[in-house]
Structure 1
Amino acid sequence: MTDKCISAQEALRKYFGYDTFRPYQAEIIEAVQEGHDCLVLMPTGGGKSICFQIPALINQGLVVVVSPLLALMKDQVDALLENGIQAAALNSIQSEDEELVIKMKARQGDIRLLYISPERLLSELDYLLPSLDISLFAIDEAHCISQWGHDFRPEYNKLSVLKERFPTVPMMALTATADKLTRNDIITQLGLDSPRIFISSFDRPNLSLHVIGGYNKKQKLAAIYSFIQRHARQSGIIYCLSRSNTEMVAQELSQLGITTEVYHAGLSAQQREKAQAAFLNDEVQVVCATIAFGMGIDKSNVRWVIHYNMPKSIECYYQEIGRAGRDGMPSDTLLFYSLGDVVMLSKFARESGQSQMNMEKLHRMQEYAESPICRRRILLNYFGEEVEKDCGNCDICKNPPQRFDGSVLVQKALSACIRTGESITVQVLIDILRGSHKAEILEKGYDRIKTFGAGEDLSFRQWQGYLLQMMQLGYFELLYNEGNRIKVTPSGWKVLRGEQIAMLTFVSNELITERKDKKKGKKTVDTPMVERSPDERLFDSLSMLRSRLAAEEGKPAYIIFTDKVLQELVIHKPVSLFDFARISGIGVAKVSKYGKEFVGLLRKELGLKREKGDTYAETLMLLMQNYSIEEIASARDLKPVTVYSHIAWLIKEKKFTEWHRFLTVYEIEAVAGALKNVNYTGELKPIYEALNEEIDYGKIRLAIAVLELENE
């Protein structure tokens, strides 16, 4: 369905249910309308898709969207169809007949947006694309084109051919994460012509940021159990660096009764698809995954993301935490960080083809994890965005670290390193300081050095936390190419000699621990019985209705309504379709499709009976959104004659005054003349015949309503 002469603002309200654009969206749409190329940087959940979906609705021609993953295409197409927008995707899993139908519709102008992978697009350069009336190319996940980007894909490299073959068609490149180097590379690689560059704020204030350093495997798992306990019934993702860790964490959670799936590149395509579908459809609460999972996830109600290991760069970290809270509702992130992560990631970085750049990115990630200042300020600063105050929604802001003179601790640690000939790793150093009698310590005589047991008053976790700080402060370095042995730096020697004070941040020894079932010996997670408020119970009821409808239609629940929309329903409690239609995020198609059931549930929960005249209200609401009579009939599954009778009633009740949209003055005068010549008793057929069957029954009904209103 294409709207002619509809404005961007009207399309936003009608199809997406929003009254106002987010920052830069209107300007980006205007730039496209003027024929400019655009580079759009917006955070995940920031509204990038609207920037090319609105032009598809208000312009003639087709918008071709290049997207890297089948799952992402399917998600977006499903969401568009749910909003009453004709969209389709060409992919490798379709039959030839399905492909032919989509191509035919695209050529005939019956599809507004066509999603396609870069490989498929290149194969259609000489056949399908030249036969289409293309108004815009939108390159989603555009950072994939750059070798400086965190998710480089070689097939994206060939998309520059689009500018050569379609020089007059504007192009929009969109990404959520790209530093300055990557941005410039995107422009060059795609051949964008003097593009308008729009960089939205990278701030996601709804995401809380929390980092825990120095936990071992047991401690991490205990903290994860406790974290999930606080997020009962909420979906989340746990990212791990290795496949083995994803399987280990998933197994531990499953033993606790937490529904969990595993996702990594070692699984078959069928297994990965099954895991992803289960997560999207809320059949499992948690996915334990490597970084292979997520780009194709458009799930808006992911409420938390945990990183079991530190990511290799801030770009990766930012993109992965961005999968939480896409609907704008409060969501939590937790990052575990250890020296072991630094060692492993440093090895990967040094062995990569771009070792210098990757090491630099890793160092910036370390700085974020170890910083004693507001984490959001560091994150935003990385993307070139300055903020004037702390965020108040990270662990540093909520619990400012306590600093103290840690010179003695540094001297103990570095002295032990020197006395072993700077030949030991961090693990061995901690064992020496804590007075461990492991075989390795005894065999090498480390139990006889002066600093053996000098730090036995501190836990392993505390020593690991302090050593992380010492490394970050530059008191020692790890020689990654020499077995990760510790080497004291000149700054470290100054502290050793008492020439410099070392200020450290206090590391707590408090740990979150799990309880063991005494009878069965199994780990368990206690779920406290908390009385839910009436609004929370109402949210649950709305969520159950959404889940039922989603199951009946075979689609993820968030495609029907996001959690944020459900929250708006709880806050405003609309008990009529008029009020329901005014809820932010609910467009006309969804009012027509789901309004009755949700309003009915709300009225039932609030103890109200069904309001008379709702069917007229629904027709009026669609009229106000500029739907035609045929579109109203289709959307409401009514016959056009019924819609005409609704409009006639609305005219007589003075609720609808724009009758001129469907009637001319000539038609009204003709009906008025016919009424004088026939004995009108409510039957329309005599009037129809008196007009020589030139004006149809529906218009006659409307004309009579207008005339009766005028007579009053």
Structure 2
Amino acid sequence: MTPKNILQKYYGYKNFRDNQDIIIDKIISEKDTLCVMPTGAGKSICYQIPAILFEGLTLVISPLISLMKDQVDMLKENGISAAYINSSLTDEEYFNVLNGIKSNKYKLIYLAPERIQQDGFFSFIKNINISMIAIDEAHCISQWGHEFRPSYRNIINLINNLDKRPIVTAFTATATPEVKEDIKFQLNMYNPFEVNTSFDRENIYFEVIETKDKEKYLLENINPEESSIIYCATRKKVEEVFSFLNENNLSVTKYHAGLNDFTRLSNQNDFIYDRKPIMVATVAFGMGIDKSNVRKVIHYNLPKTMENYYQEAGRCGRDGEKAKAILLYSAGDVGIQNFLIKNSTDSKDDYDKLDYMIDYATGTDCLRRKILNYFHENLEEDCGNCSNCNKEFKEKDITIEAQKILSCIKRMGEMSGANLVTDVLKGSRKKQVLSFEYDKLSTYGIMRDYKRDDILDIISELTRQNALSTTGMPKPILKLNKNSYDIFKGKKVSMKYTEKKINTNINTYDNLNKENLILFDIFKNWRYEKSKEQNIPPYIVANDKLLISLTKKLPQTKRDLLEIEGIGENKLNQYGDDIINIINNYLENKPKKDNINLTTPVKITNTRLESYKLYQEGLSFNSISKMRNLSEVTVINHILDCYKYGYPVKEEDFLKDNWEKQILDAITKVGDEYLKPIKEALTDEIDYNAIKYTLIKNKNS
């Protein structure tokens, strides 16, 4: 068989992605190979297909148990014989795998690097025909890498002590020139073929949101049924965000090093198996997680390095479908990271890397260009697929405002944070202002005509431009510096602001119409049930990209199914009848437009249907919330979700008088990507439920 035959037979794809075929050809011609490819670029196929073609066994060195299990489950789903050896196996399971290796049962064995050191395994493997050793996450072998693991240094002993030297291949998503040289040296690679593909992840939309109310942003922008990861800088913040989302009835779990092993594993599995679609975590979570259907990665706090940010952001959109990487930024984040660096390395290099992240979060350049420049890759033109490319920036002089703010900080003794300084400038009568007699200062109330948020934005900008310094944690104190005094002397200072934002509502499923979405939901529920039967993650049964293809193309025979990318022979035999039956049943019972009711085969989640049934019986939102022990906000969202899929609701339950016209006028002015700008453009009496209803009605029509 040729590599292309294998690609279609086992993986269900007709064509290789960029460079995959070149890499595979080099490996099967017995050439050592080093590949630096971004997350989601298809590294694993580059060693799996040669492994199928080779006569002997391929050992894959992999750092994490979860990653090994995912890869082996996926290979088995595709009809490829594979197993793993790590500390999760019982003695009986371990010896069963060894017996399988002796009888040539497997083409690939995934192996923890720590296992190499064990004498029994070392003696055993010497007598096996090893065609290739593939090292995944190869940067772990280098002391210059950001995730150095000493156990990786044992790999060379394994290579050197085999009777016949195997082909050595190394794969990583992140490696500086220094790390690449170290990988080649540590593995004693023979004049290896090297591939460095672009770091660009074109399917990810990068966005920075500067906000002082991050919790509100999450509530308004998290899809409760969409797989999302929210990264926080500290364990404490993970607990706070988790509790907030949980209290608002979102299906959420958490992960950080302060949890015991059992809880971490249980929470991780809840996320991987789609039982809890939202994960709130520190950076301890993610390495080795191969979940392909993560649609959003949100950084609640500013990461300290671009390496960390890009690796974590890259955990969304691994299936190649549209995804969003969102950074929620506030000036206080800088103080947190400065504190963490000061109490760890306190090195200039780490402060410089943090400065780069601050520039990313606060600058006006194309975000993708900024990311790629960091990794020494040039983007010829702005990407058009990030929040900065979709904003129009203008510049304004803030010298007078800056002088007022700096003067106030000076008169307050440089002992206060941004909020208290703003209170004084606004002329607040708060107890803290009066008790310190700040109301007697000449700067008291000199900016009372400014919006509070505008003053805080200028303070953030002065901090970013190093015209203000901050000290202390967790509430930074504002201090003047040399640049502050230059502004007193008349040095001009300006800031850029956004006058207009182009609507860029990035939705993975925006190319599916209402009827498509109904079938897509049916497939998602089928996938979930199949994953439970087989005890494998849903995305291994079928990723979102495959479900979208099935939903749009509606294949009705097995021959048609083989034309769908992602369906190989094994998947066809295993799931073909199910898929065809689902499509045929859907087409036979397909609801007419604007006539969808509860007797149709639409499968909204049961909890939403339960709320809707009570609503249809005439119960008020408040009564339903009490009966079901849910918040009224959750109940209303259930009803609106059903309305989105065609279930009828009473307009008078959401709109009054001429609200709809006012809402549509506001949408015309500010766009429909976020609810908050629409709300701010309306009178106070028009609530978020009215806005949501109008948006759904507008899209459905």
| TM-score bin (small chain) | 0.7 to 0.9
Contact 1:466 / 1:507 at 8 angstroms: preserved in 2?
no
SS of residue matched to 1:74: helix
By how many angstroms is 1:193 displaced?
Answer: 3.6
The residue type paired with residue 221 of structure 1 is E
Q: Which moved more, 1:124-133 or 1:558-567?
A: 124-133
> Partner residue of 2:520?
539
By how many angstroms is 1:581 displaced?
Answer: 0.7
SS of residue matched to 1:335: strand
CA shift in 2, pair 1:81/1:144, >3 Å: same
TM-score when normalising by structure 2? 0.77
> Partner residue of 1:503?
494
SS of residue matched to 2:588: coil
CA shift in 2, pair 1:485/1:534, >3 Å: closer
CA shift in 2, pair 1:51/1:385, >3 Å: same
Contact 1:547 / 1:557 at 8 angstroms: preserved in 2?
yes
> Partner residue of 1:161?
157
> Partner residue of 1:196?
193
Aligned partners of 2:474, 2:271: CA distance in 1, in Å? Answer: 43
Aligned partners of 2:16, 2:265: CA distance in 1, in Å? Answer: 34
CA shift in 2, pair 1:190/1:357, >3 Å: farther
CA shift in 2, pair 1:186/1:358, >3 Å: farther
The C-alpha deviation readout for 1:375-427, integer Å capped at 9, x for no partner, is 11111111122112222222212223332122222222233344455555545
Q: Which moved more, 1:338-347 or 1:591-600?
A: 338-347
Contact 1:65 / 1:113 at 8 angstroms: preserved in 2?
yes
Matched, 1:40 2:32: no
> Partner residue of 2:17?
22
> Partner residue of 1:607?
588
Aligned partners of 1:235, 1:310: CA distance in 2, in Å? Answer: 21
Aligned partners of 1:190, 1:361: CA distance in 2, in Å? Answer: 29
Matched, 1:134 2:126: no
Q: 1:115 aligns with which of 110, 116, 126?
A: 110
By how many angstroms is 1:279 displaced?
Answer: 1.3
Matched, 1:551 2:532: yes
The residue type paired with residue 236 of structure 1 is S
> Partner residue of 1:224?
218
Matched, 1:71 2:66: yes
By how many angstroms is 1:285 displaced?
Answer: 2.0
Match runs of 1:211-360 below 5 Å: 211-215=208-212, 219-228=213-222, 231-353=223-345, 355-360=347-352
Q: 2:545 aligns with which of 564, 576, 584?
A: 564
Aligned partners of 2:228, 2:405: CA distance in 1, in Å? Answer: 39
Q: Which moved more, 1:11-20 or 1:475-484?
A: 475-484
Contact 2:335 / 2:473 at 8 angstroms: preserved in 1?
no
The C-alpha deviation readout for 1:18-61, integer Å capped at 9, x for no partner, is 11111111121122223333222222111011111111011111
The C-alpha deviation readout for 1:615-643, integer Å capped at 9, x for no partner, is xxxxxxxxxxxxxxxxxxxxxxxxxxxxx
Q: Which moved more, 1:24-33 or 1:318-327?
A: 24-33
Aligned partners of 2:562, 2:251: CA distance in 1, in Å? Answer: 36
SS of residue matched to 1:538: helix
The residue type paired with residue 75 of structure 2 is L
Aligned partners of 2:291, 2:336: CA distance in 1, in Å? Answer: 31
Contact 1:64 / 1:116 at 8 angstroms: preserved in 2?
yes
CA shift in 2, pair 1:26/1:311, >3 Å: same
Q: 2:99 aligns with which of 93, 101, 104?
A: 104
Matched, 1:52 2:52: no
By how many angstroms is 1:430 displaced?
Answer: 3.6
Q: Which moved more, 1:256-265 or 1:561-570?
A: 256-265
SS of residue matched to 1:131: coil
The residue type paired with residue 175 of structure 1 is T
TM-score when normalising by structure 1? 0.76
CA shift in 2, pair 1:154/1:342, >3 Å: farther
CA shift in 2, pair 1:598/1:471, >3 Å: same
Contact 1:148 / 1:182 at 8 angstroms: preserved in 2?
yes
Contact 1:462 / 1:507 at 8 angstroms: preserved in 2?
no
The residue type paired with residue 42 of structure 2 is G
Aligned partners of 2:46, 2:401: CA distance in 1, in Å? Answer: 55
Aligned partners of 2:404, 2:184: CA distance in 1, in Å? Answer: 53
Structure 2, unaligned stretches of length 5 or more?
502-511, 590-701
Match runs of 1:569-580 below 5 Å: 569-580=550-561
The C-alpha deviation readout for 1:427-448, integer Å capped at 9, x for no partner, is 5544443344556655655444
Matched, 1:182 2:173: no
The residue type paired with residue 147 of structure 2 is D
Matched, 1:590 2:566: no
Contact 2:335 / 2:474 at 8 angstroms: preserved in 1?
no
What is the aligned-residue RMSD (CA, Å)?
2.8
> Partner residue of 1:208?
205
The residue type paired with residue 173 of structure 2 is A
CA shift in 2, pair 1:185/1:477, >3 Å: farther
Q: Which moved more, 1:189-198 or 1:241-250?
A: 189-198
Count of residue correspondences: 578
Aligned partners of 1:462, 1:112: CA distance in 2, in Å? Answer: 62
> Partner residue of 2:617?
none
By how many angstroms is 1:200 displaced?
Answer: 1.5
> Partner residue of 1:673?
none
By how many angstroms is 1:185 displaced?
Answer: 3.6
The C-alpha deviation readout for 1:85-114, integer Å capped at 9, x for no partner, is 011000112121211111122233221111
By how many angstroms is 1:583 displaced?
Answer: 0.8
The residue type paired with residue 214 of structure 2 is K
Aligned partners of 2:342, 2:155: CA distance in 1, in Å? Answer: 30
The residue type paired with residue 80 of structure 1 is L
By how many angstroms is 1:604 displaced?
Answer: 2.6
Aligned partners of 1:431, 1:145: CA distance in 2, in Å? Answer: 53
The C-alpha deviation readout for 1:449-486, integer Å capped at 9, x for no partner, is 33333333444543333233223323233356999654
Aligned partners of 1:352, 1:191: CA distance in 2, in Å? Answer: 34
Aligned partners of 2:180, 2:350: CA distance in 1, in Å? Answer: 17
Q: Which moved more, 1:501-510 or 1:294-303?
A: 501-510
The residue type paired with residue 184 of structure 2 is I
SS of residue matched to 2:89: coil
The residue type paired with residue 93 of structure 1 is S
By how many angstroms is 1:227 displaced?
Answer: 0.6
Aligned partners of 1:437, 1:316: CA distance in 2, in Å? Answer: 43
Q: 1:172 aligns with which of 165, 169, 186?
A: 169
Contact 1:141 / 1:176 at 8 angstroms: preserved in 2?
yes
The residue type paired with residue 95 of structure 1 is T
Contact 2:391 / 2:500 at 8 angstroms: preserved in 1?
no
Aligned partners of 1:148, 1:439: CA distance in 2, in Å? Answer: 53
By how many angstroms is 1:300 displaced?
Answer: 0.9
The residue type paired with residue 347 of structure 1 is F
> Partner residue of 2:403?
411
Match runs of 1:293-692 below 5 Å: 293-353=285-345, 355-420=347-412, 422=414, 424-436=416-428, 441-442=433-434, 446-478=438-470, 486-499=478-491, 501-506=492-497, 533-607=514-588
Aligned partners of 1:64, 1:84: CA distance in 2, in Å? Answer: 18
The C-alpha deviation readout for 1:644-671, integer Å capped at 9, x for no partner, is xxxxxxxxxxxxxxxxxxxxxxxxxxxx
Aligned partners of 1:454, 1:157: CA distance in 2, in Å? Answer: 64
Contact 2:392 / 2:500 at 8 angstroms: preserved in 1?
no
SS of residue matched to 2:408: helix
Contact 1:29 / 1:55 at 8 angstroms: preserved in 2?
yes
